[in-house]
Amino acid sequence: MDLQLTAAVRLIRQVLLLATVALAVFLLMKTSPVDPIDAYLGPAIATVGPEQRAQIAAAWGFDQPAHVQFLAWAGHVLRGDLGFSTTYHAPVAQVMGDRIGASLALTGLAWLLSGLLGFALGVIAAVRGGWIDRVIRLYCYVLASTPTFWFAMILLMVFSVTLGWTPICCSGPIGVPPDQVSFVQRLQHLILPLTALTLFGVAQIALHTRVKLIEVLQSDYVLLARAQGASALDIVWHHGLRNAALPALTVMMASIGELFGGAILAEQVFAWPGLGRASVEAGMKGDVPLLLAIAVLTALVVSSANMLADWLYQLVDPRVRQ
């Protein structure tokens, strides 16, 4: 019964969170100076009169009060209709379906690689100490203070423009239909944005892992293990890694939202056809249905990751179950 009640409470919190995110994004879009009709018309704005503008506003529901528009959107979402994107002239579900694969390939791999690399660097810094520790910490501090878009542009300028080792943009060769792009070509276009986004998420995980592992290695039970003749490798393997894995897992799950923000900038720099770039275009053109759908999906992924972290804690450390 307690498990069912806990699950129900978490579900209610999840729904309230998604509703709050959707309402906040909607209100921000309504206070934005961007006129969606002007953005939709583009150069044709000079040839459209007030009557035609009023017809477009009525067709999109913009002639209704803000609360009526939001409730109408929510009602359509509950019926499985995410609305129509004025930016891409297609249903929102189709736009997201076409782009979610590219975002998952980039963001998912970057999240996994940054977690593994950050955890490994944190362990090395704590165990080795000395100049290795100082070099890793300096690397993490510099990396944490570097803007993602600036770092991405430096990588693009060096490896694509100057050296010509990697493609300049996109997820495949320009002019080639997506179904004709080979796996090797996709991988070539993925390397640079994946590198930028992976290095973006390394610093926090490495620093948190280092601090926790140093704390463990200085504890009384590790001192006892050393007195009993345990080797450094045994101490790190049996005592250090499990205790250091908890904060690393926490930071990894919490960094998903930050990684999504970094992905938006990286996708803009590398013209990567993912949801991050679509959200920027939707914001610039006042495409409320598309931006709301992306924001709600992002909030759902981040909140679900935090709940998954709670469950994983119990696998890593049985003491959490009590």
Kindly state whether residues 145 and 240 are assigned to the same domain.
yes
Kindly state whether residues 100 and 78 are assigned to the same domain.
no
Kindly state whether residues 120 and 229 are assigned to the same domain.
yes
Task: Choose between 282 and 169: higher pLDDT.
Answer: 282
Is residue 189 predicted with pLDDT exceeding 70?
yes
How many alpha carbons fall within 13 Å on the CB side of residue 205? 29
Kindly state whether residues 152 and 263 are assigned to the same domain.
yes
Kindly state whether residues 58 and 145 are assigned to the same domain.
no
In a domain, 7, yes or no: no
Is residue 321 predicted with pLDDT exceeding 60?
no
In a domain, 143, yes or no: yes
Kindly state whether residues 287 and 314 are assigned to the same domain.
yes
pLDDT value at position 1?
Answer: 47
Domain of 317?
Answer: 92-321
Distance CA 59, CA 65 (A): 14
DSSP-derived secondary structure letter, 236? I
In a domain, 48, yes or no: yes
Sign of CA dihedral 140, 302, 24, 149: positive
pLDDT value at position 235?
Answer: 67
Domain total in the chain: 2
Distance CA 27, CA 31 (A): 6
pLDDT value at position 84?
Answer: 86
Distance CA 310, CA 306 (A): 7
Helices (H), 31-105: 36-41, 50-60, 66-78, 92-103
For a pLDDT cut of 70, what percent of the chain falls above it?
87
In a domain, 136, yes or no: yes
For the residues 85-97, what does the mean pLDDT come to? 87
For the residues 270-296, what does the mean pLDDT come to? 86
pTM for the whole thing? 0.80
Backbone angles phi, psi at 85, to 5 degrees: -90, 120
In a domain, 100, yes or no: yes
Q: What is the CATH number of the domain that holds 150?
A: 1.10.3720.10
pLDDT value at position 231?
Answer: 62
In a domain, 6, yes or no: no
In a domain, 32, yes or no: yes
Kindly state whether residues 33 and 98 are assigned to the same domain.
no
Kindly state whether residues 73 and 219 are assigned to the same domain.
no
What are the b/e assignments for 189-228, b being 16+ CB within 10 Å? bbebbbbbbbbbbbbbbbbbbbebbbebbeeeebeebeee
Is residue 40 predicted with pLDDT exceeding 70?
yes
Kindly state whether residues 305 and 256 are assigned to the same domain.
yes
pLDDT digits (tens, 9 = 90+) for 288-320: 889 899 988 888 888 887 777 777 666 665 555
The pLDDT-based confidence of 30 (bands split at 50, 70, 90) is: confident
In a domain, 13, yes or no: no
pLDDT digits (tens, 9 = 90+) for 143-176: 878 887 788 888 888 888 888 888 887 777 777 7
For the residues 35-48, what does the mean pLDDT come to? 74
Q: Domain boundary residue among 59, 90, 121?
A: 90
pLDDT digits (tens, 9 = 90+) for 242-266: 777 777 777 777 777 777 777 887 8
pLDDT digits (tens, 9 = 90+) for 117-153: 988 888 888 888 788 889 988 988 888 788 877 888 8
pLDDT digits (tens, 9 = 90+) for 193-242: 888 888 888 888 888 888 888 877 777 666 766 666 666 666 666 666 77
Q: Which residues contact 113 (CB under 8 A, 6 or more apart)?
A: 194, 198
Q: Domain boundary residue among 90, 112, 137?
A: 90
